[in-house]
Amino acid sequence: MSDLSTHSKLVLKTFTELKEAGFIAFTNVSYGNFFFDIFAVNPETKEMKVAEIVVASEGKIGEKKALCDKLGISFKVLRPERNDGLDACSFASSIGYCFSNPLRIQVLKLLNTKKSSYSDIMYDLNLDPSTSGGKFSHHLRILERNGLIIKEENRLYDLTRKGETILETIGSLEQLSRAEKWTRRATQK
């Protein structure tokens, strides 16, 4: 379980607790414009619960709570303790996963220049919403859950300070890689 992100650990723990309490639980549930971490129903009591794991940004928590209140569903926000048990290797692995996909790096670079909406980011990266929308949403969630980007009230995405730091690190790694290639070419001649 140490390979899981803080968010994933909390989802798994909460999911297990709900199942043990007699609930049928589902993860990554979409409803309207919202995406919930856990939705659970107790088949005997008909009680419904939603659990939202907040590791980085609060995102649409207020809107999600209002929706759940309107639907009569218990809504719970879970936040990790400051010492969430992640050692340096687990943290590095979690962040490394964030930029293991070139699209996520492109998103970080774009947001470093300007705040953008979901559709503007897709347009700027030449992505087709009809074919890439689902995968693109997945990549944004990974960046958001790891605290590299934040979705503001006005629905614009922005780079966080942590995201800026990671982007600077990526830039340094890219420079190092270019320097190594240049050095190898120079020594081969």
If residue 51 lies in a helix (H) or strand (E), which one and from where to where? strand 48-53
- Identical fold for domains 6-78 and 88-180, yes or no, is no
Q: How far is CA 12 from CA 26, 59, 67, 143, in A?
A: 11, 21, 24, 19
Q: Are 124 and 112 in contact (CB under 8 A)?
A: no
Residue 82: per-residue pLDDT: 38
**CATH number for the segment(s) 6-78:** 3.40.1350.10
Q: Which residues of the chain register pLDDT less than 50?
A: 1-2, 81-89
- The answer for residues whose C-beta is within 8 angstroms of residue 48's C-beta and 6 or more apart is 39, 40, 41, 42, 71, 72, 73, 74
Tens of pLDDT, residues 24-72:
887 777 666 666 778 788 778 878 888 776 655 555 677 777 777 777 7
Residue 130: per-residue pLDDT: 86
Domain ranges of the chain: 6-78, 88-180
Give dist(CA 13, CA 11) in Å, integer. 6
Give dist(CA 155, CA 59) in Å, integer. 9
Residue 157: per-residue pLDDT: 93
Q: 88-180: which CATH topology?
A: Arc Repressor Mutant, subunit A (1.10.10)
